Chain A
Amino acid sequence: MDVLLNEDEEMIRDGVRRFFQAECGVPRVRAIEDDEARTDLDLWRQLAELGWLGLALPAAYGGGEAPFTQLTLLFEEAGRALAPVPLHPHMVAALTLAAAVERGDCGPLAETVISGACMGESLLTWAWDERLPNIGPEVVTLNAIADGNGWRLNGTKQMVEAFEIADYCLVAVRTDASQTAAGGITLLLVEPGAEGISSTTQRTLGGDHQSEVQFDNVYVGGDALVGRVDDGWDLARPMLERAMVLNCAMIVGATRRAAERAFDYAKERIAFGHPIGSFQAIQHTCADMITWVDGAELLTREAAWHIAQGMDAALAAAAAKSFANERCQMVLREANQIHGGYAQVYEYDQQLWYRRAAAWTMRLGTSTEHRRTVARALELQ
């Protein structure tokens, strides 16, 4: 037991932080909001060249096979830098393909796609969200009817990240319409350009790249199958847990940076002849901010450790996500309060950390939903 970072972990964190500090300054973070792709593809290529995209993917496909805990640190740093790249959807999809391949549940297409994902040749995303703002299996209703050795898809996916620039999208569909929960879900690897697919870009609080995607009688062949038919929840549940933990890591990284910016501001800003950071009202707020973000970080890292150990991570991930969602919003709110009027000004940088981190807390299930998971684990239901 030692909850601090070990040498390897410190090396990863420091290396990634140095890279983002050198390459991913505020102008680059801002630029994507005015850009159609809403993604910095040059930065994406740089990450690929440095091998960060394959960090935790299997060595057999060109990855670094690092434990999930190290990947979590990469995401903390990406969050801290507000890296304007689709690291999250790419990694969620790639890790799920890797898990399926490892179980021998995938055809040659998935193997090719993982290799491409490691090298940055293929950009991956995933599509889970639909009408309800939850993350549980009940949200998946996209209808898939068997057709030959493939399927015909009809329905709508929401808030799909980087869809238009992705090469493949891992789509959760309902292959058995008689079931409404965990049973009857299947995962399919779909090309965004397939006939019958149309998408509409969604403007978001974080200014990132998300879309509503419509499937109108889209044919998907049998080789697109990832995992087993009707049994996709088996892969999807760990996929969602990994997605939640990596999302928490981004929230924590960005929130910590937002807090640090507020601490720095409190040391410089003079009011009534003193730096405002000398006032106890500000000092005590700052003490709470660091305590809350530290708490969210520890919960996130413990959940990541559960995943890295191959242990059941459902409870730890739900605890981390529900806590990070709410406490990190509180930290962001206080950081804004310390900045006063400047917090609302577009050209002032604080708002970047605020908007993006806050937007990330709104993804991947609500706090209430995750607390339901906790309550179930505590056998209160």
Chain B
Amino acid sequence: MDFGFSEENEAFRAGIKAFIAENVSPAIIQEMQDGAHGAGIGPLTRDLILKIGERGWIGMSWPKEYGGREADIIDQYIFEEELARARVPLNLGNFIEQAPAIMKAGTEAQKKYFLPRLVRGEVTFALGYSEPSGGTDLASLKTRAVEDDDGYVINGQKVFTTRAESSSHIYLMARTDPDAPKHQGISIFLVPMDTPGITVRPLWTLPGGRTNEVFLEDVRVSKDTMLGQKNGGWNIGASALNLGRAGARRYCIYVSPFEDLLKYLQTDELGRDIAKDPVTQDKVAELYCEAQVARLFTMRSLSMVRRGQNPPYEISSEKIWGPEFQVRTTEAASQILGAYHQLWDGDGAPDGGNFPRQYVNAMVSTFGHGSTQVMRTAIARRGLDLPRD
């Protein structure tokens, strides 16, 4: 067991910190926040992504032939951790979330086209999984793709399709065999968002950000948009989703409300007065311990993936503990800061109104990428081998 980072790791970390100090201005962060609130990716953000891409920090652990530099995934962890600590609201992980599936199941042509473009940020995917009739029970999806001589014609509707308005492609799950058992008739398509027949409608969320509904009406795609085998999409999709649940960035999101609360209590004049209460101190100390568990679960998943293991339940534990901790933190913060915790902006709002935003953000964490109840069932069945019936 080794809980420390090597000198090389620390040197890499120092490089990332220096890059952030030099290249991330408050103006860029503001632009990114506006971007998340519907303005799209602005020019300053674009420029920053390009700089990060030039340094080989997107998809850095990938094989060289697909545009990566075969770096240790610990570097990826450090990179994400530093970006999150500097509160840079840029999710580069989202840019490349589908890459492992393309590497695993894609044709040579698909790999050559998509992977380098993903690394450079030229191609971005929105995730076309959830539908109005089912998100958690994903395999019951109803969107249909019917084959004809030229390709497929897709009809249906997706929901919670975040970044659909700004992505170049949608990573789309659709049913290609309605008569097969529900997990066996699904295929994945990599569809350009400008394909005729795709309409995007915004759904505005409590934290202020945007997600979408996507309507697919007679969307005609060529056969080479299919990823992997026809009717074999379920397993490809599931593996991409599992990888999407791990990573430093997620744990950093889970613990960020705690870090913000702690900093406020340590450094703000009012915060320091509030923190004099020993009951408050006890609560904050308890949250500190729980935050360490969130960090350690991420380190464990990373250690397992790095050894080439496929964690049977550990990533699900991470995905239960982290978001529920995040919610416990924000609820505790609300009772520590009291009425101040509601203030959304203005001079009197602690930390510029950050706390109520963290409060509603936390809620989203417990169902994004799969609800915590589904995770618990997965742990029981896959990790503990408990029976189905």
Interface residues of A (CB under 8 A from B): 1-6, 9, 69, 263, 266-267, 274-275, 277-278, 280, 282-284, 286-288, 290-291, 294-295, 298-299, 301-302, 304-306, 309, 319, 322-323, 368, 371-372, 374-375, 378-381
Q: Is B377 an interface residue (CB 8 A)?
A: yes
A352 nearest CB across to chain B (Å) = 22
Check A368/B4 contact, CB under 8 A, given A278-B388, A286-B386. no
Partner of B285, one of A280, A295, A299, A378: A378
Q: How large is the interface on B (under 10, 10 to 19, 20 to 34, 35 or more residues)?
A: 35 or more
Residues of A within 8 A of B6 (CB): 1
A263 nearest CB across to chain B (Å) = 5
> Is there an interface contact between B376 and A380, defined as CB atoms closer than 8 Å?
no
Residues of B within 8 A of A6 (CB): 1-2
> Is there an interface contact between B296 and A378, defined as CB atoms closer than 8 Å?
no
Q: List 15 A-B contacts (CB under 8 A).
A: A4-B304, A263-B384, A278-B388, A282-B386, A283-B377, A283-B381, A287-B317, A298-B293, A299-B293, A305-B2, A305-B3, A371-B285, A372-B278, A374-B285, A380-B285
Name the residue of chain B whose CB is nearest to the CB of A67. B1
B1-44 to A contact mask, C-beta < 8 Å, 1/0:
11111100100000000000000000000000000000000000
Q: Is B303 an interface residue (CB 8 A)?
A: yes
Partner of A290, one of B275, B296, B304, B379: B379
Partner of B74, one of A1, A9, A319: A1
Residues of B within 8 A of A284 (CB): 373, 376-377, 380
> Is there an interface contact between B380 and A3, defined as CB atoms closer than 8 Å?
no
Alpha-carbon gap, A287 to B381, bound state (A): 9
Check A323/B290 contact, CB under 8 A, given A283-B386, A287-B384, A291-B379. yes
- Interface contacts (Cβ under 8 Å), in number, total 158
Give the dominant DSSP class at A's interface. helix
> Is there an interface contact between A319 and B266, defined as CB atoms closer than 8 Å?
no
Check A319/B292 contact, CB under 8 A, given A280-B377, A291-B379. yes
Residues of A within 8 A of B317 (CB): 287, 290-291, 294
Q: Is B246 an interface residue (CB 8 A)?
A: no
Name the residue of chain A whose CB is nearest to the CB of B275. A380
> Is there an interface contact between B281 and A375, defined as CB atoms closer than 8 Å?
yes
Name the residue of chain B whose CB is nearest to the CB of A370. B285
> Is there an interface contact between A322 and B289, defined as CB atoms closer than 8 Å?
yes
> Is there an interface contact between B376 and A5, defined as CB atoms closer than 8 Å?
no
A182 nearest CB across to chain B (Å) = 21
